[in-house]
Amino acid sequence: MVATTAELKTGGAAVQAPGRGLSWWLTGASEMAKRNICTILRSPQLVMFALIQPVMFILLFSLVFGGAVDVPGGDYTQFLLPGIFVQMVLFGSVASATMGMSMDMQDGIMDRFRSMPISRSSVLVGRTVSEILRTVVSLVVMIVVGTIIGFRFLGGFLPAIGGIALLLFFGYSLSWLGAFIGVTASGPASAQQIGLIWMFPFSFLSSAFVPTESMPGWLRVYADNTPMTTVVNALRGLFGGTPVGNSVLVTLAWAVGIILVTAPLAVRKYASQSR
């Protein structure tokens, strides 16, 4: 529930405390983000997952499949890395937000937050913002490993920064989708299954790993029009110094659209469970 008032539950009765404006809301969101970051840092398995999984995917696809795939320009590493970047953001942002929210709901932590004088929306904003920082760490690791195996930002410094910013914004939008799944699912196991059902076809039925020209006609129509393909193509253009067409604008439109749809739904679902 996005509101300027916060419910304080005292003695079993709910009373209304006056809202304190933007600074109050921002303070609540920042505290929630700090809490989520500390939770990740105190969980070695989560840190190792964020660091090792990207490296495994890069090495697997570049070294094992690189010689078997014909790509425009002939350099599979340059073709592959933007796709790996997007896939890791997808798996990281959605999976982490989904499981984090679902586990907090199951463990009763969200019940504690509901008794605090903070906005309902700031709890979810804190979760999604913390996912950006986790994504940055994974992205740095991927860039370092990619550079070692031959990846280069051929488009120059500013396009590279623009591409990274675009990737982070797209990942932020996906974290809202993950938050919505997390507050909607009946438990962590259900949340994980819901995420896996769509994430694998969403990422692999795209231009992330192979050119869509190699796909059957009916499948190519789908692959060419997914947000995954759009953002991958935008990054390839920005990182490789090739024309991007309208892919950047379309990616921004997808990201904004995902946030506009999933953020209100997630906040509303979370608020409805607090009553």
Residue 10 lies in a domain: no
Residue 148 lies in a domain: yes
- How many structural domains comprise the chain? 1
Residue 25 lies in a domain: no
pTM summary value:
0.84
Mean pLDDT of the chain: 82
pLDDT tens-digit series, residues 142-164: 999 999 988 999 999 999 999 99
Q: Which of 207-211, 241-245, 253-257, 266-270 has the highest mean pLDDT?
A: 253-257
Supply the range of the domain harboring residue 227. 44-64+71-272
Kindly report the length of the chain: 275
What is the model's pLDDT at position 42? 74
Which region among 1-5, 184-188, 259-263 has the lowest average model confidence (pLDDT)? 1-5
Residue 165 lies in a domain: yes
Residue 257 lies in a domain: yes
> 3-state DSSP helix/strand/coil percent for the chain, to nearest 5?
75, 5, 20
Q: Which residues lie below 8 Å from residue 168, measured CB to CB, with a gap of 6+?
A: 89, 132, 135, 136, 139
Q: Count other C-beta atoms under 10 Å from residue 113's C-beta.
A: 18
Residue 199 lies in a domain: yes
